[in-house]
Amino acid sequence: MDKAMRGYRQIPVYLRYLINILLLAALLALGNHLIVSGAVNRAQKAIILQIGIYALLAVSLNVATGYLGQLPLGHAGFMAVGGYAAAILWKSLPKNTGAMLLGLLLGGLVAAVFGVLIGVPALRLRGDYLAIITLGFGEIIRVLIINLPGITGGTPGLMSIPKHATFPVVYITVIVSCALIHTLMKSRHGRAILAIRENEIAAEASGVNTTFYKVLAFTVSAFFAGVAGALYAGYTGILTPGNFTFMTSINILVMVVLGGLGSMAGSIIAAGILTALPLALQSFNKYRMVIYALLLIVVMIFKPSGLLGRYDFSLTRILEKAVNGRLFPKRGKAGEDHA
């Protein structure tokens, strides 16, 4: 804390948590009320749930891409594994809260196991091998799903999955997942992961077990992709291998890149925009992929850090600035990183 910051009043920790939790709970109650009362129609509700699911996918991919600096191209594979695991469990259990929680957890855990299995060989190597191996993994998973109809329902898909993913379930799952990822990134483990992104050799020289932390970050990424996959299964009620192609992985990647590599708020905002826009503008669908492709290239050439860069939204920071009368400083300061 430098001299200028002396006398800067801070909000006590318990109050910060209280404000954040109350606001999030109020948003949940408001959203739930709007849906239950019918003020939000079916199509709008579907968009809201999809935004939640894609936000979680983007945030989870951001752990591996934005924070760790690797490029997995098989995120849809982890999503598929988690989704199918949860769906198969849900189909054999009565529809209640316990089963719902168990399914979400199982989806995440199965995806995490695959994450370790893929991550250990791929992340031992430096360079771009992770991109290729995860890409291969995504394809293998799809081939497996198609060719094991006894378990997965094959090409026509797995049907009549209990629809566990209501608005409160999706909302709370996304919030809890984001909070867990956020706290992980704020811990010493998170800083180790960021150190690897900045310079792997320097991190290793400073005593960071690079392989362990790379696998850890990658597994966390896979876990939450699995949870999102489970939500997706509980939202659509039907899973087909066509839901989990390479293009699905690319869609998620576009969200992360556009929002900002390393910005959780950016991922969520980009997921919201890129999910809602095509659904709202059906005629635009024809050009969607061309525009996505151009966006990827243009963003990389002109603003490689994405729209929000590494900036992350923090209500506490804004409140503290307001308390100290510094909400509108004369000179804008660059956004802070997680570290």
Partner 1 sequence: MLFLSQCINGLQLGSIYALVALGYSMVYGIIRLLNFAHGDVIMIGAYIALLTIGAGIHPALAVAVTILGCMLVSVLIEKVAYRPLRSAPRISLLITAIGVSLLLQNLVQLLFTANTRPYPSTAIIPAKALNLGGLSLSLNTLMTILISLGAMVGLHLLIQKTRMGKAMRAVSEDTGAAQLMGIDINRVISITFAIGSALAGVGSVLFCCRYPVVNPTMGSLLGLKAFVAAVLGGIGSIPGAMVGGFAIGFAEVLVTALGFSAWTDAVVFAILILVLLVKPAGLLGKGVAEKV
Binding residues for partner 1, rule: CB under 8 A, are: 65, 69-71, 73, 121-122, 124-129, 131-133, 135-137, 139-140, 143-144, 146-147, 201, 246, 250, 253, 257, 261, 286-287, 289-290, 292-297, 300-301, 304
Buried b (16+ CB within 10 A) or exposed e, 177-188: bbeebbebbeee
Complex with partner 1: residue 126 or 326, whichever CB lies closer: 126
Distance CA 52, CA 41 (A): 17
User: CB 71 → partner 1: shortest distance, Å?
Assistant: 5
Other beta carbons within 10 Å of 332:
7
User: CB 209 → partner 1: shortest distance, Å?
Assistant: 17
Distance CA 44, CA 304 (A): 33
What type of residue sits at position 232? Y
Other beta carbons within 10 Å of 272:
20
Complex with partner 1: residue 25 or 294, whichever CB lies closer: 294
Complex with partner 1: residue 137 or 232, whichever CB lies closer: 137
Complex with partner 1: residue 127 or 329, whichever CB lies closer: 127
Distance of CA 113 to the CA centre of its chain: 18
Q: Work out the widest C-alpha separation in the chain, in whole angstroms.
A: 67
User: CB 233 → partner 1: shortest distance, Å?
Assistant: 23
Complex with partner 1: residue 161 or 254, whichever CB lies closer: 254
DSSP 250-313: HHHHHHHHHH-TT-HHHHHHHHHHHHHHHHH-GGGHHHHHHHHHHHHHHHHHH-TT-SSTT---
Distance CA 88, CA 298 (A): 41
Complex with partner 1: residue 138 or 229, whichever CB lies closer: 138
User: CB 300 → partner 1: shortest distance, Å?
Assistant: 4
User: CB 127 → partner 1: shortest distance, Å?
Assistant: 8
Complex with partner 1: residue 68 or 230, whichever CB lies closer: 68
Buried b (16+ CB within 10 A) or exposed e, 200-236: eeebeeeebebeebbbbbbbbbbbbbbbbbbbbbbbb
Complex with partner 1: residue 13 or 301, whichever CB lies closer: 301
User: CB 67 → partner 1: shortest distance, Å?
Assistant: 12
Other beta carbons within 10 Å of 76:
26
User: CB 255 → partner 1: shortest distance, Å?
Assistant: 12
User: CB 153 → partner 1: shortest distance, Å?
Assistant: 16
Q: What is the DSSP letter of 332?
A: P
